[in-house]
Amino acid sequence: MKKYLIAGLGNIGAEYVNTRHNIGFKVLDRLAQQEGLSFETAKLGAITEYKLKGRTLILLKPNTYMNLSGKAIKYWLDKENIPVENLLVVTDDLNIPFGTIRIKPRGTDGGHNGLKSIQQLLGNSDYPRFRFGISDEFKKGQQISYVLGEWGDEEKTKLPERLDKAVEAIKSFTLSGLADTMSNFNGK
């Protein structure tokens, strides 16, 4: 049975639940909700397992805070003996419009501390990542409060449909592979 680690990045704590930076958690929560799964606290994160057509998806929400996400991801990849090409990291991205999906086989951290941590601990940046656009609607010097801020009203209205699309993309990644998923979901 093929195994995958789907890691949604975010910060633990009630004050972060509805922030833009926590979109990775939100996407995994949506998948868990749709499939009737519940997360359990485990080493370095909250975990649940999802079986999909002969594949096992381990959904991970690191509890290490964003800046140490790599620690949890490295631990679960090693523990479950999952190859790095079967890792998908779901994270927020300021450089793409709200709700837009961009999946890539590798890339830079783009200044994102969660991705920096993963790159340091894996020793390279050759791992699939799923970037969910949160746009850059903030004034100069306001980046941190924007990223850690709550969704605006218009975003909240559009978010459920975007979360459903994100869940479809994760399923596609495990069933159809990276190339197909990129051509079917990128920019959508």
pLDDT in tens, 52-90: 999 999 999 999 989 999 999 999 999 999 999 999 999
Residue 24: pLDDT band by 50, 70, 90 thresholds? very high
Q: How many domains does the chain have?
A: 1
Exposed, middle or buried, 1 (CB in 10 Å: 0-12/13-18/19+)?
exposed
End-to-end CA distance of the chain: 30
Residue-level pLDDT at 144: 86
Sign of CA dihedral 131, 135, 138, 141: positive
Length of the chain, in residues: 188
DSSP state of 150: B
Q: Which domain holds residue 127?
A: 2-185
Average pLDDT rounded to a whole number, residues 162-179: 97
Across the chain, mean pLDDT equals 95
Report the CATH number that the domain containing residue 16 is assigned in CATH: 3.40.50.1470
pLDDT in tens, 122-165: 999 999 999 999 998 888 888 888 999 999 999 999 999 999 99
Active site positions, annotated: 21
Share of the chain above pLDDT 70, in %: 100
